[in-house]
Amino acid sequence: MITGASAGIGLELTRKLLSEDWQVVALNRSDFPTDDMSIQHAVKSGSLRIYKTDDLADYASLRRTLEEIKSKEQRIDILFNNAGGSFPKLSHSKQGREKHYELLTVVPYIILMELKELLKIGRLKTVINTSSSALKFTKEFTIDILERPKTFRKLLGPYATSKLALSLWTQAIATQLAKDDIKIRSVDPGSNNTLRKGKQSGLPFLVGVLMKLFFSPPTHGANKLYEGALGEHRNKTGVYLLKGQVAGLKFKDQARNVLERIQAIYEHEFLQRNI
């Protein structure tokens, strides 16, 4: 299963897996390219099954889509928590939290928790969270900064902090998931040109220019995620992979705090409103 499968790295990962005869479950906000015949053929044959949500960071919409997946799918071998994005200004989710944090940190946890039973009966029982090397630029880190930042910087502000938080809870939850034989890793997909026409970017101007000129195509990132799931580190859990190698994380002492906070959000907001 791939979230954010219809564009960029997620689309290339979908294409790669389909070419190897995997069955792919896609959780998307936007549509796949209509002119991609291999994608359209996979949809017709049933090897690509698409589930749509209006907004991954809107719990009501996300809940409906996850319930549909749970009712229709038999198992999940690998969950790629890949959906993301960077926003050009400070904005908030319907739940009132900073939107990068909601989408990049909290929502992947909700998806994992909701689909854990399908993972438990899967063959590979693997979760890959798409992280970012931007996390190394984080200078301050607290739960309050994550949820309600007082300042905003493109890429190096809430985006980087939220990706760090994602990798920290990935590390913190590994022991708990191991009880169900589930392995989890966060993976930096490297520098990829994921600019999309007509879509406002949350990148600083200079980074956008460099991306067009020098960054790799999204196939590079797709390969990094694929290797993160099936490559040499496939038996490790809780690690952060950077350039294909296990790397350290800043603010490791905050990992448990992040996990406890997003678990509380899941229990008291996502689950309670479902009752």
- Note the pLDDT of residue 201: 63
CA distance 146 to 214: 31
Mean pLDDT of the region 236-253? 97
Asked if residue 6 has pLDDT above 90, the reply is yes
Mean pLDDT of the region 234-261? 97
Q: What angle do CA 31, 82, 187 make, to 5 degrees?
A: 155
pTM of the model: 0.93
CA distance 14 to 23: 9
* 3-class DSSP state of 119: helix
Do residues 225 and 194 make contact, with C-beta atoms less than 8 angstroms apart?
no
CA distance 49 to 6: 12
Report residue 86's pLDDT band, with 50, 70 and 90 as the boundaries: confident
Report residue 218's pLDDT band, with 50, 70 and 90 as the boundaries: confident
Asked if residue 257 has pLDDT above 60, the reply is yes
Least confident of 30-34, 79-83, 129-133, 217-221: 217-221
Q: What is the DSSP string of 54-67?
A: S-TT-HHHHHHHHH
Asked if residue 56 has pLDDT above 90, the reply is yes
- Note the pLDDT of residue 66: 98
* 3-class DSSP state of 51: strand
Q: How far is CA 235 from the centre of its chain?
A: 20
Domains of the chain with bracketed CATH: 2-274 (3.40.50.720)
Mean pLDDT of the region 101-117? 98
- What percentage of the chain has pLDDT greater than the value 90? 84
